[in-house]
Amino acid sequence: MNDFHQAESISTLHRLRKDNLDKLEDDLRMYSKHRPVALVLPCLYSELQREALKNIVEELKKVDYINEIVITLGRANREEFRHAREYFSVLPQRVRIIWDDGERITSLFKLLEDNGLYVGGPGKGRAAWIAYGYVLAQDSSEIIALHDCDIVNYSRELLTRLCYPVVNPNLDYEFCKGYYARVTDRMYGRVTRLFITPLIRALKKIVGYLPFLVYLDSFRYPLSGEFAMKADLARVNRIPSDWGLEIGMLAEVFRNVSLKRICQVDLCDNYEHKHQELSSDNPEAGLLKMCIDISKVFFRMLAAEGVVFSDGFFNTLISTYLRTAQDTIKVYSDDASINSLFFDRHEEGLAVETFVKGIRIASKHFLDDPLGAPLIPNWSRVTSAIPNFLDLLREAVEEDNA
């Protein structure tokens, strides 16, 4: 993405050179001595069987500015947890695996529930949150970076560029979001291209200038799963436990951080990971579920900003979104044509129709229950309710990894 475009409300850091990785890594080695970095990896056991994670591990072997790697392992029994410990033992950094399904961690989730603290079910949101807690409990890293474990074309440059704006004290951002292109012989990223961006712009047409919407529209890939932040943010941010994690995180950052301290950074030429099915007839799976979860979080965040919702508002929103998304399809069709990419306008249209269905479902859920499932409490709230919880978490992780 070699351009100079700057968003309206946050800084955009471009990838104008592709030959400066060594220089960036040299800087990070120096700066990380005073600003140690923890890398959080939410991981399902099934990903240990895939080539993507094997390549990620090989690349991470070459990274020497990371202080610790914290892996939250989900959907794993005891034998699979032992295998995961062996699998990640080749990494030279200090590595700890949080066994999400283990007795010690599940007992801690139960303790939270007994104290009225809802942390949701298994998912990326809870996996990231519990890893943040462990990093805070260790108190040995000032920066937390996170990326997924299914990146097919992963390079250590991605991690370097993600960390650099937050670790470098001369830039000194508090939060950095990654962005990238998702293109092979065709365009991917349907949820961003055809759902999130048209929805934000439809809302801007209806409610007018709203700083939160301008802020969200400034992100070139708001649903990217890669970000880095000061560890103190992990202490105060509340996040959803479902597919609304990325939008929920951006909303919390908007509340807690000055816009001057937020940036997005171009991570790589292209980004490839596993693709979700559309699942247009199943609201509990695929992109339809993703759309519903994101919409519910989105509506609740906007309500907190003072937007008043009603049946009439949602009817207008759906109509405005549909027209905006249909216009967007034409633009992407033209873009694909000039780049000689495969483009199926019918499939794109089906995706938009599915997203309309998701918005309808989410709007009904919202009107029935405007508060919905609570966000995961921030760590300040947890330690207020259970002062020794971080100590219990650290002990549980260390005992599992012993």
**Is 364 a domain residue?**
yes
Per-residue pLDDT tens listing for the chain (402 residues): 568 899 889 999 999 999 999 999 999 999 999 999 999 999 999 999 999 999 999 999 999 999 999 999 999 999 999 999 999 999 999 999 999 999 999 999 999 999 999 998 888 999 999 999 999 999 999 999 999 999 999 999 999 999 999 999 999 899 999 999 888 899 999 999 999 999 999 999 999 999 999 999 999 999 999 999 999 999 999 988 777 789 999 999 999 999 999 999 999 888 877 667 888 889 888 999 999 999 998 999 999 999 999 999 999 999 999 999 999 999 999 999 999 999 999 999 999 999 999 999 999 999 999 988 788 999 999 999 999 999 999 999 999 999
* Chain centroid, CA 307 distance in Å: 25
Strand bridging mode 143-146 / 94-99? unpaired
Q: pTM (2 decimals)?
A: 0.95
At 165, list the tokens. 């704006």
* Secondary structure of residue 262 in the 3-state scheme: strand
Q: What is the rounded CA–CA span in Å between residue 199 and residue 150? A: 27
**Is 3 a domain residue?**
no
DSSP character at residue 108:
H
How does pLDDT run across 249-295, given as a tens digit for each residue? Answer: 999 999 999 999 999 999 988 887 766 788 888 988 899 999 999 99
- Number of domain units in the chain: 1
- Phi, psi torsion values for 139, nearest 5 degrees: 55, 35
Helix axes 156-167, 51-60, angle to 10 degrees: 50
| pLDDT value at residue 2 | 64
Let me know the angle formed at the C-alpha of 185 by 180 and 190, rounded to the nearest 5 degrees.
Answer: 55
**Is 176 a domain residue?**
yes
**Is 83 a domain residue?**
yes
**Is 34 a domain residue?**
yes
Residues spanned by the domain of 213: 11-401
| pLDDT value at residue 34 | 97
**Is 292 a domain residue?**
yes
Helix axes 345-368, 311-338, angle to 10 degrees: 160
Instruction: Give the side-chain half-sphere CA count within 13 A for 287.
Output: 26
**Is 6 a domain residue?**
no
**Is 308 a domain residue?**
yes
Of the candidates 216, 143, 219, 133, the one whose C-alpha atom is nearest the C-alpha of residue 179 is 219
CATH classification of the domain holding 214: 3.90.550.10
